[in-house]
């Protein structure tokens, strides 16, 4: 049996393909760099991140992008030996105007180097590539319509010319969506005589759904599924998996069909999903009327789904502790908006340590010295050993549980104004309202400090150790970890603004005075607590 979700933690908007016996899923990364996570499996049950293809500034420049902008809803496809990856780099979101350039990169090796980007258009986002049986290729997107606050303007299609490396010909308006509204995330696939158009609808929250339409002509008109949507939890608030929608179909080598889609797992009924939007899977059956349905006979995603009759896809699980002895960081770690460059992050300058050179504040959308990994479990212990010698109140480094520039909990090493006293402090940010806990710990004379955070669903407690982790002491009060969630951020802001990511935990360093003071991290550990 396959346990849902198959991709835990912030991994939304799945796009799936099969090449031979190998399955690949691409998921959104938003402001986290490198862009796009590509996951690999052979059994649809066990998945491993094998590539983050947008790893050069020439492919993905996100400096200054607002929170939850950047890479939205990539589409991974394959045709005649070439992998195609379409992605949006959303540059602005507030107000009626949305800047949503879409690009295409290609590669003949999914784990190799991907091409320089080909600009497609900026008419909308959630771009998708369809390879027709006659050899022609087409680009789909959701249209951003600014008129009268409409925003979701329907689905468009335009031909892509491989030789000229650009879109050509007329833009065709395919579908306006259904009464569910918020129509986005289009994918087209062909089966027998029909073109099937998948649509993410209802918004990516608790009303989310996946609708489907079909036509015998690529350009339509498209008729809607008898049930409109094939999956939705909108009428089942107590169901264990929520927010189901925005997905993609895949056919196995023996003719079975599966559907991958995003879900959320709230802490309480329709409450906060601290792990962000995740990816789940369901079986599809095709009925005599030529329409797909969930094989379970319901619109609700199951926690367990029958898998393939194949050998388990096995691979070495990452160690809980990373000692920073390798030449490159694990793919688990991502940076914010900017590439991991030697100018601010190094595994070479001090062997066996990760060195971070302090840059801008945790509120910056430009250049932060921060590396973090997804929180993928509801109960987690994360810790790191740090050596840092601050001489200014503007020099800080430590362990951070992070959602975005306005929401985080930060246990850090800093100093007093004169630089004579080394201190441990906690800063929390709740929609940019900063709070500093009263308790400060004097750690003057201590070279190495172990910082730890224990997450238990909505509660986060920080700890520290001055004897390399033999004995830990509590620091500060218990913190509300649920503010590090899409749901809280949306509810907190009276305006609509994007909040689409998930909780990360990692290491960071700030030198707000000169952008040069460094901190050395000996190791980082992440482990699930039973």
In whole angstroms, give the CA distance from residue 143 to residue 127.
Answer: 10
State the virtual CA torsion across 229, 491, 73, 88 in degrees, nearest 10.
130
200's tokens: 């993410």
- Cβ burial of 160 (10 Å; 0-12, 13-18, 19+) is buried
Chain centroid to CA 319: how far?
22
DSSP three-state, residue 491: helix
270's tokens: 């329709």
Q: Catalytic site residue 184? A: yes
Catalytic residue among 13, 205, 210, 430: 13
Bridge partners of 184, per DSSP, are: 200
DSSP three-state, residue 148: helix
Map tokens 């952008």 to a residue.
515
DSSP three-state, residue 296: coil
Catalytic residue among 156, 184, 278, 395: 184
Ramachandran bin of 138, using left for φ above 0, alpha for ψ from -120 to 50, beta for the remaining angles: beta
Q: 28 near 76, Cβ under 8 Å?
A: no
In whole angstroms, give the CA distance from residue 215 to residue 192.
Answer: 11
**First-to-final CA distance of the chain:** 21
In whole angstroms, give the CA distance from residue 372 to residue 333.
Answer: 5
- Cβ burial of 304 (10 Å; 0-12, 13-18, 19+) is exposed
| CA-closest candidate to residue 490, choices 335, 210, 246, 271 | 271
In whole angstroms, give the CA distance from residue 455 to residue 463.
Answer: 11
The catalytic residue positions are 13, 184
């Amino acid at each position: 049996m396959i346990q849902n979700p198959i991709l835990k933690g912030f991994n939304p908007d799945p796009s799936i393909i099969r090449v031979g016996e190998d399955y690949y899923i691409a998921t959104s990364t938003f402001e986290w760099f490198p862009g796009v996570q590509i996951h690999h499996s052979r059994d649809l049950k066990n998945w491993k991140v094998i590539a983050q293809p947008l790893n050069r500034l020439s492919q993905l420049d996100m400096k200054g992008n607002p929170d939850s902008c950047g890479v939205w809803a990539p589409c991974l496809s394959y045709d005649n030996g070439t992998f195609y990856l379409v992605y949006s780099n959303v540059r602005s979101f507030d107000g009626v105007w949305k800047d949503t350039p879409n690009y295409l990169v290609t590669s003949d090796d999914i784990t190799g180097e991907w091409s320089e980007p080909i600009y497609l258009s900026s008419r909308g986002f959630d771009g998708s590539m369809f390879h027709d049986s006659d050899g022609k290729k087409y680009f789909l997107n959701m249209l951003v319509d600014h008129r009268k606050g409409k925003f979701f303007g329907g689905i468009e299609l335009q031909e892509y010319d491989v030789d000229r490396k650009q879109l050509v010909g007329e833009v065709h308006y395919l579908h306006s969506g259904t009464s569910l509204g918020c129509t986005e995330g289009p994918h087209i696939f062909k089966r027998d005589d029909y073109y099937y158009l998948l649509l993410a609808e209802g918004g990516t929250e608790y009303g989310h759904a996946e609708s489907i339409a079909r036509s015998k002509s690529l350009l339509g008109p498209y008729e809607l599924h008898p049930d409109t949507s094939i999956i939705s939890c909108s009428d089942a608030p107590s169901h264990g998996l929520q927010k189901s929608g925005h997905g993609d179909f895949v056919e196995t080598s023996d003719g079975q069909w599966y559907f991958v889609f995003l879900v959320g797992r709230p802490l309480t009924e329709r409450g906060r999903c601290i792990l962000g939007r995740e990816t789940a899977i369901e079986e599809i059956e095709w009925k005599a009327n030529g329409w797909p349905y969930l094989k379970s006979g319901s619109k609700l995603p199951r926690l367990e789904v029958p898998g393939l009759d194949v050998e388990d896809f096995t691979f070495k699980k990452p160690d809980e502790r990373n000692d920073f002895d390798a030449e490159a960081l694990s793919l688990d770690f991502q940076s914010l908006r900017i590439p991991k460059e030697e100018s601010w992050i190094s595994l070479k300058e001090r062997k066996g340590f990760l060195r971070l050179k302090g840059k801008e504040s945790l509120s910056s959308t430009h250049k932060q010295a921060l590396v973090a990994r997804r929180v993928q479990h509801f109960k987690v212990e994360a810790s790191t050993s740090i050596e840092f010698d601050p001489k200014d109140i503007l020099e800080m480094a430590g362990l951070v549980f992070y959602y975005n520039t306005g929401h985080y909990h930060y246990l850090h090493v800093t100093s007093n104004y004169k630089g004579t006293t080394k201190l441990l402090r906690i800063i929390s940010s709740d929609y940019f309202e900063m709070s500093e806990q009263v308790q400060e710990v004097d750690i003057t004379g201590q070279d190495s400090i172990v910082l730890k955070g224990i997450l238990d669903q909505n509660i986060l407690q920080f700890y520290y150790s001055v004897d390399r982790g033999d004995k830990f002491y509590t620091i500060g009060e218990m913190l509300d970890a649920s503010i590090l969630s899409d749901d809280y951020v949306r509810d907190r802001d009276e305006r609509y603004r994007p909040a689409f990511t998930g909780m990360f935990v990692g290491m960071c360093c700030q030198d707000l005075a000169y952008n040069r003071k460094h901190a050395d991290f000996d190791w980082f550990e992440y482990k699930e607590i039973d």
